[in-house]
Chain A
Amino acid sequence: MDENADYLRKFAGEWVLVLKDEVIMHGKNLEEILEEAKEYPDEDLTLLRVPPQKTIFR
């Protein structure tokens, strides 16, 4: 996320699935995101959750 932090900020509070450098899906429902992930080679896929603007983890 850090490499593209400004770009990803618009997905604050969401899960983002990235194929190489391209966002292929984002949203709050992680189960749906992971279902989509099955369609792609896992070597090139990265999953991350973009923190909300104001974050207290846990």
Chain B
Amino acid sequence: MDREYVFKYENYPLIKIRFHYRNKKTPIIEALLDSGGDFIVIPLPIAKFLGAKLRETKDVSTAGGIAPVSKTRLDLGIMRDDKEDILYRRLEVFVMDNDDLPVLIGRKPFFEDFEITFKKHKKKLVLKRIRKE
């Protein structure tokens, strides 16, 4: 059976994740599934907390205008009940110097690797791993 990750879904589509960099890890983070975004985006303090190495990249176009960003590579785990499954190693993550930004889980790679069902009426958000052939 394909592995499923089920989260409560009331006001916003939030999933519980954790970032790792070398031997450091963040608290569990409630991150917003952002179907309108291309990539995973985190605020700069999270990258600093992990001591992650940053690389400058080109400014990117966002809904709020052109914004400077950096990139880093982090491991990402997702919470399943009280346990964590490490889903991705050295995943490319964009970093913005903006505390007003939640952690955004854009389409790449989550929307490519999971069938995502928003069951608002059941207050559930279900991510089902797609088995690639």
Q: CB-nearest residue of chain B relative to A38? A: B49
* Chain A contact residue count (CB 8 A cutoff): 24
Identify B34's interface contact among A2, A47, A48, A57, CB under 8 A. A57
Q: How large is the interface on B (under 10, 10 to 19, 20 to 34, 35 or more residues)?
A: 20 to 34
**Which residues of A1-58 have CB atoms within 8 Å of chain B's CB atoms?**
1-3, 5, 13, 15, 17, 28-31, 33-34, 37, 42, 45-49, 51, 56-58
- Additional A-B contact list (4), CB under 8 Å, known A1-B11, A17-B27, A28-B100: A2-B10, A48-B14, A56-B64, A58-B34
Chain B residues within CB distance 8 Å of chain A: 8-12, 14, 16, 25-30, 32, 34, 36-37, 41, 43, 45-46, 48-49, 62-64, 99-104, 123
Give chain B residues whose Cβ lies under 8 Å from the Cβ of A58: 34, 36-37, 41, 62-64, 101, 104
Question: Can you list 30 A-B contacts (CB < 8 A)?
Answer: A1-B11, A1-B30, A2-B8, A17-B27, A29-B99, A30-B46, A31-B49, A31-B99, A33-B45, A34-B46, A34-B48, A37-B27, A37-B49, A42-B27, A42-B28, A46-B27, A46-B28, A46-B30, A48-B14, A49-B102, A49-B103, A56-B64, A57-B36, A57-B37, A57-B63, A57-B101, A57-B102, A58-B36, A58-B41, A58-B63
